[in-house]
């Protein structure tokens, strides 16, 4: 049989109010009473019903996070860091897999709202701004992660995507590469748009004219990275090096290169956005742009929880945190002798 606070109160000989005060560690309960009630609680094996508490308190001590793709190493690090941080502050995390699908995202936003989570961390697909605004207006705290959302007023934690991409491509150019391809995600994610911008900036700066046939876009997943890389490297006008825009696309690209029996860096140079252990033990070790993934998640959580707990904060003030990326040079590019410059 399920034990509730009333059972405890009766057995201990006090009212539910007093039991509740003991549970919540309120002052103003005689030590002797407290002990007696605590005893009864453990005798009866009583476990508080958080659902009832949540209803009454209008607070759930839980936050939701909707990630783009749980399968991605990127997001599993995010999940870990959000979990760690939330945990530190006594919050639970409800992890949802948006799967890069706006409909799934909307559905989860609704579910989370309905479950009255105290706040939501979201890597937006870019399509549900209206609902997200509604969420924010109706009091749910939201922090955007990894991607910006135009026209939505809320805290955001990002990486310097354009600069990161610029650094990657700049590195290739410095090594003498001129025909540089990019395998990118869609531009409706700001990560896609910004990384393309960085790529173009680097080309422009070097006086290299943009060649649309070297720019490939699809979703941010592995299979797509593989497909687009093959297209790119099979076309007559093929690049000497490629820049791949996220970890999953990068894995796909490396698979494609392997399947095509091409050698890195002899046949094709590559720089990937996002690091991983595997990147460093790969043969050859892959030059990457490293993002501070763990910090992305922890900063977002900290921001969110701060906003949740600080009731009187001014919702119109929105933080935008931009974290720096770093170029890690390894051995996936080579020096070309036509390094004219």
Partner DNA sequence: ATAATAATTGTAATCGATTACATTTCATTC
Partner DNA sequence: GAATGAAATGTAATCGATTACAATTATTAT
Cβ atoms of 85 and 56 within 8 Å: the answer is no
Q: Which two tokens stand for residue 106?
A: 């909307």
Instruction: Sheet containing 241-244: give its strands across.
Output: 215-218, 180-185, 241-244, 269-273, 287-290, 326-328
Four-residue CA torsion sign, 13, 15, 18, 23: positive
Judged by CB under 7 A, which stretch of 9-17, 70-78, 166-174, 214-222 contacts DNA?
9-17
20 binds DNA (CB under 7 A): yes
10, 43, 47, 326: which one binds its own copies (CB under 8 A): 47
Between 47 and 309, name the residue whose CB sits nearer to its own copies: 47
90 binds DNA (CB under 7 A): no
The Cα–Cα gap between 172 and 175 comes to: 5
Applying CB under 7 A, the site for DNA has a residue count of: 28
Judged by CB under 7 A, which stretch of 10-18, 169-177, 198-206, 265-273 contacts DNA?
10-18
Residues in contact with its own copies, shown as a per-residue x/- string from 252 to 281 under the rule CB under 8 A: --xx--x------------------xx-xx
Between 13 and 139, name the residue whose CB sits nearer to its own copies: 139
Between 28 and 236, name the residue whose CB sits nearer to DNA: 28
Between 45 and 312, name the residue whose CB sits nearer to its own copies: 45
56 binds DNA (CB under 7 A): yes
> Closest distance between DNA and the C-beta of residue 18, in Å?
4
71 binds its own copies (CB under 8 A): yes
> Closest distance between DNA and the C-beta of residue 56, in Å?
3
Applying CB under 8 A, the site for its own copies has a residue count of: 48
51 binds its own copies (CB under 8 A): yes
2 binds DNA (CB under 7 A): yes
341 binds DNA (CB under 7 A): no
> Closest distance between DNA and the C-beta of residue 248, in Å?
39
Whose tokens are 């490297």? That residue is 233
100 binds its own copies (CB under 8 A): no
77 binds its own copies (CB under 8 A): yes
Give me the residues that bind DNA (CB under 7 A), please: 2, 4-6, 13-18, 20-21, 23-24, 27-30, 32-33, 48-49, 52-53, 55-58
Give me the residues that bind its own copies (CB under 8 A), please: 2, 45, 47-52, 54-55, 60, 62, 70-71, 73, 75-77, 79-80, 83-84, 92-97, 110-111, 113-116, 134, 138-139, 222, 251, 254-255, 258, 277-278, 280-283
């Amino acid at each position: 049989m399920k034990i509730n606070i009333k059972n405890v109160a009766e057995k201990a000989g006090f009212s539910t109010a007093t039991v509740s005060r003991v549970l919540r560690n309120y002052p103003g309960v005689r030590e002797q009473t407290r002990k007696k009630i605590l005893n009864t609680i453990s005798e009866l094996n009583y476990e508080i019903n958080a659902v009832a508490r949540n209803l009454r308190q209008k607070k759930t001590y839980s936050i939701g996070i909707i990630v783009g793709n749980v399968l991605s190493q990127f997001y599993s690090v995010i999940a870990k860091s959000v979990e760690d941080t939330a945990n530190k502050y006594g919050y639970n995390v409800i992890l949802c897999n948006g799967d890069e699908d706006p409909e799934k995202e909307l559905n989860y936003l609704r579910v989370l709202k309905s479950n009255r989570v105290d706040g939501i961390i979201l890597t937006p697909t870019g399509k549900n701004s209206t609902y997200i605004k509604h969420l924010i207006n109706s009091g749910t705290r939201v922090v955007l992660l990894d991607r910006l959302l135009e026209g939505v007023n809320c805290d955001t934690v990002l990486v310097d995507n354009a600069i990161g991409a610029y650094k990657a491509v700049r590195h290739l150019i410095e090594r003498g590469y001129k025909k540089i391809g990019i395998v990118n995600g869609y531009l409706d994610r700001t990560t896609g748009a910004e990384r393309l911008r960085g790529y173009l900036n680097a080309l422009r700066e070097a006086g290299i004219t943009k060649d649309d046939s070297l720019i490939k876009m699809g979703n941010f997943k592995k299979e797509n990275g593989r497909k687009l890389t093959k297209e790119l490297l099979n076309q007559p006008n093929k690049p000497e090096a490629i820049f791949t825009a996220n970890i999953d696309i990068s894995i796909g690209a490396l698979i494609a290169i392997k399947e095509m029996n091409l050698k890195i860096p002899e046949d094709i140079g590559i720089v990937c956005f996002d690091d991983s252990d595997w990147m460093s033990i790969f043969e050859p070790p892959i030059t990457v742009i490293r993002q501070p993934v763990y910090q992305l998640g922890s900063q977002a959580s900290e921001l969110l929880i701060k906003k949740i707990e600080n009731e009187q904060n001014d919702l119109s003030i929105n933080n935008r945190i931009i974290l720096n990326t770093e170029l890690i040079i390894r051995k996936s590019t080579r020096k070309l002798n036509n390094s004219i410059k």
